[in-house]
Amino acid sequence: MDVTAAKYIGAGLAMTGLIGAGAGLGILFGNYLQAAIRNPSAAAGERVWLFLGMALAESMGIFGLVMGFVILFVKV
Amino acid sequence: MAAIEPMEQFLVHKVVPITPLHVPGLGLLDLSITNSVLFMIISASVISIFFLMAAKREIVPGRMQAAAEMLYGMVDGTLTGGIIGDRGRPFLPFVFTLFLLIAMLNLIGLAPGGFTVTAQLAVTAALAIMTFTTVLVVGFVRNGLGFFKLFLPAGMPLGVAIPMMFIEFISFAVRPLTLAMRLFGNMLGGHVVTYMFASFVVGLGLFGLQGAGLAKLGLVGSLVSFLVIIALLALEFVVAFLQAFVFAALTCVYLNEVVNLDHGH
């Protein structure tokens, strides 16, 4: 296979890591919203943990994204 | 049409070249002012000037003082106070500085012609290693060898404890890596995506202008891409602020583990 073609395919495959990040963010915000609607008075205090969880879930996707960039743009 | 080079905006180049100094023990040191250094200086000056002007100590705060107090109160209340508790007060200057610097670097990178310093892995890695070292030093100073209790959750049967120790240790050891990569990846990714849509605006626009018939649809695509850029930039402003917040919050979480090690908080 051509190296350039393999590079693009690899970068595309690296993006599959974003599936998990998307699912994680959906679960996170969905559950936060559900909890916040059930008990609105407690919602504000948990917002820090919401954003922390968001960062942790998102970072997994970001790692995939960085791998994609490394595959595409880093010249070996 | 110019080539599409999404990574070209992250290139570091010298603005004020300084001839490399020979430092004994370290070898040649190139201390030239690069665009990265320049934007760090700019953002540090903006923060300093803002706080010098805002800190008037009036009883009824003006606009600037109110803004500064709001930022300070947010970090004090939700980050050091909310996550670490009363023992977090000594770390407030560190966390507040980290938060302000990262937020300012992210925001200044969004300005037209701005250079995103936080999209350099070297910069984010330096910040992450600084945080990690602080956590290690504080952990050992406060707890001595009791620091290693961090890797052994209390009340765990021995069979589970040993594999857990390894897992806890690895998750502790990769923290600087994840901290650095998160900020770096977010800023890099955001800017590259914005660049790609900007190239769609020009590319599809030219295609629509030059072609006839169905090719005119390129103009619609160009307009849509332009609207997407506006939305993306709004999102990027949120992300710029949020990533600074997250970096500061994770610093607090890591500090909390070592500061309140002996009694759960």
B265, pLDDT greater than 50: no
CB B114 within 8 A of CB B39: yes
A55 interface with B at CB cutoff 8 Å: yes
Torsion of CA A51, A53, A59, A60, to 10 degrees: -150
Q: Answer whether residue B222 shows pLDDT above 60.
A: yes
Residue B9 is assigned to a structural domain of this protein: no
Given an 8 Å threshold on Cβ–Cβ distance, is A73 in contact with B7? yes
Host domain of residue B206: 28-259
Residue B11 lies in a domain: no
CB within 8 A of B63, min separation 6: which ones? none
Q: Is the pLDDT of residue B99 over 70?
A: yes
Query: Could you tell me what percent of chain B has a pLDDT over 70?
Result: 98
Q: Say which of A51, A58, A65 has its CB closest to residue B245.
A: A51
Lowest pLDDT segment from A12-26, B1-15, B205-219? B1-15
**Do the chains contact at B182 and A52, CB–CB below 8 Å?**
no
Whole-angstrom distance, CA of residue B232 vs CA of residue B78 = 28
> Of A45, A51, A66, which is closest to B185 when you measure between CB atoms?
A66
Distance from CA of A51 to the nearest CA of B (A): 7
Determine the pLDDT at residue B44.
Answer: 94
What is the pLDDT at residue B1?
46
Q: What's CA B33's distance to the chain center, in Å?
A: 21
The yes-or-no verdict on residue A27 having pLDDT over 90 is: yes
In a domain, B15, yes or no: no
Mean pLDDT of B214-224: 90
| Averaged pLDDT for residues B206-235 | 90
Is a pLDDT exceeding 60 seen at residue B167? yes
B196 contact A CB<8A = no
What does the pLDDT average to over B226-243?
A: 93
Comparing CB atoms, the residue among A48, A63, A65 nearest residue B249 is: A48
Mean predicted confidence (pLDDT) in B150-172: 83
pLDDT of A76 above 90: no
What is the average pLDDT value for chain B, to the nearest integer?
88
**pLDDT score of B108:** 93
B250 touches A at CB < 8 Å? yes
A61 has pLDDT over 90: no
Domain boundaries, chain A: 3-70
B200 domain residue, yes or no? yes
CB contacts, 8 Å: B82 with chain A: 45, 48
pLDDT exceeds cutoff 60 at B36: yes
Partners of B21 in the β-ladder: B29
| A11-26 tens-digit pLDDT | 999 989 899 999 999 9
pLDDT above 90 covers a percentage of chain B that reads 46
Q: What is the mean pLDDT of residues B17-31?
A: 82
Q: Decide: residue A71, CB within 10 A, 0-12 exposed, 13-18 middle, 19+ buried.
A: middle
Q: Is residue B87 a part of any domain in this protein?
A: yes
Summarize the confidence of residues B58-83 as an average pLDDT. 89
Q: Which sign, positive or negative, has the C-alpha torsion A51, B186, B174, B26?
A: negative
Report the alpha-carbon distance of residue B7 to residue B9 in Å, rounded. 5
For residue B263, what pLDDT is reported? 67
ipTM score assigned to the predicted complex: 0.78
Min distance B246 CA to chain A CA atoms (Å): 6
Whether B184 sits inside 8 A of A58 (CB atoms) is: no
Nearest to A62 among B6, B79, B182 (CB): B182
Q: Does position B264 have pLDDT exceeding 80, yes or no?
A: no
Residues of A in contact with B6 (CB under 8 A): 73
Distance CA B126, CA B119 (A): 12
* CATH number of this structure's domain A3-70: 1.20.20.10
pLDDT at res. B2: 57
Question: Is B21 among the domain residues?
Answer: no
Compare CB distances from B181 to A51, A66, A73 and report the shortest one's residue.
A66
User: How far, in Å, CA of B182 to CA of A63, rounded?
Assistant: 8
Copy the structure tokens of residue B37: 């250094």
Query: B22 by DSSP, 3-state: which?
Result: strand
What is the total count of domains within chain B? 1
